[in-house]
Amino acid sequence: MKKKMSSETELLAGDSDWHNNACLNYMRDHGTAYTEGYRRAADILIRHIDETARDQDFLVYPVVFLYRHHIELQIKQVTGLARRLLREDDPRGGDRGTHNLNSLWEVARRLLLQADDTLGPSDFRRVSDVVRALHEADLRATGFRYARTAEGGRSLQGIHYINTRRFGEQMAAASDDLDSIDNGLRYLLDLENEMRGHEDGFF
C-alpha cells in the first residue's frame, strides 16, 4: 500500500495557513506573474537595505540578478507582442533560449518601431542605457549568479561598489518605460481584434 506523504514533506503544496499559499497558473497571461515577481522581489530587497542599512554586500547579487532577469523577460514580452502585431514569425524559432540583453534589445527595438508608429528612439533611451550597462558588466548573465567564471576566474572583476538604491531607481525607470510600451502594444492588438470582429459581422 502506497504511503501518503505528510504535509511536512510536501515541498510544492498548499497548507492550512492560507495567507502563505501562493497561487499559480490562474492568470490568463501566465508570463506577467513571472515578470512582475522578479521586479517585486528586487524592490523588497532594495527597500530592506535602504531601511536597515544592512546586508547590502550579500543582497546585491540577487538584487541585480532579479532586476536583470525582469528586464530580460519584459524585452522578450514586448518582442512577442510586436511580432503578433506584425504577424511575423521569429526566423530563428524564438529568442527564449538566449540571455544576451544586447541582441534581444536590438531585435526588440527594430520590431517595436515597425509595430507602433507612435514610438521613437527617445522612448528607448533609458532601456538602452541599462541594457548597455548590464551587458558590459555581465556579458553571459552569470556574474551575479556565480562567484567564478566558466574559466575559473573571479566574477565581476573591476566592479567595487553598486549603490542598490540608485540601481533600483534606474532599473525601475527602464521597467516603467517597457511597461508603457507593453500597454501600448496590447491596446493596438485589442483594436485589431475589435476591427476583425466588426469585419466578421459583415459576412
Tell me what pLDDT residue 161 has. 98
- Residue that is written with C-alpha cell 490568463 in the block: 28
Residue spans of the domains in the chain: they are 29-197
Its pTM surpasses 0.85: yes
Reported residue count of the chain is 203
First to last CA, the chain: 62
- Phi/psi of residue 140, nearest 5 degrees: -95, 5
Between CA 179 and CA 126 the distance in angstroms is 13
pLDDT in tens, 70-105: 999 999 999 999 999 999 877 655 566 788 999 999
For residue 201, the surrounding DSSP H or E stretch is helix 164-201
Q: How confident is the model at residue 26 (pLDDT cuts 50, 70, 90)?
A: confident
Residues 6+ apart with CB under 8 A from 146: 155
Summary mean pLDDT of the chain: 90
Q: How confident is the model at residue 44 (pLDDT cuts 50, 70, 90)?
A: very high
One-letter amino acid identity for 172? A
Tell me what pLDDT residue 106 has. 97
Rounded to the nearest angstrom, the gap between the alpha carbon of residue 203 and the centroid of all alpha carbons in its chain is 42
Residues 6+ apart with CB under 8 A from 156: 137, 138, 143, 144
Helix axes 164-201, 56-86, angle to 10 degrees: 20
pLDDT in tens, 128-172: 999 999 999 998 899 999 999 999 999 999 999 999 999 999 999
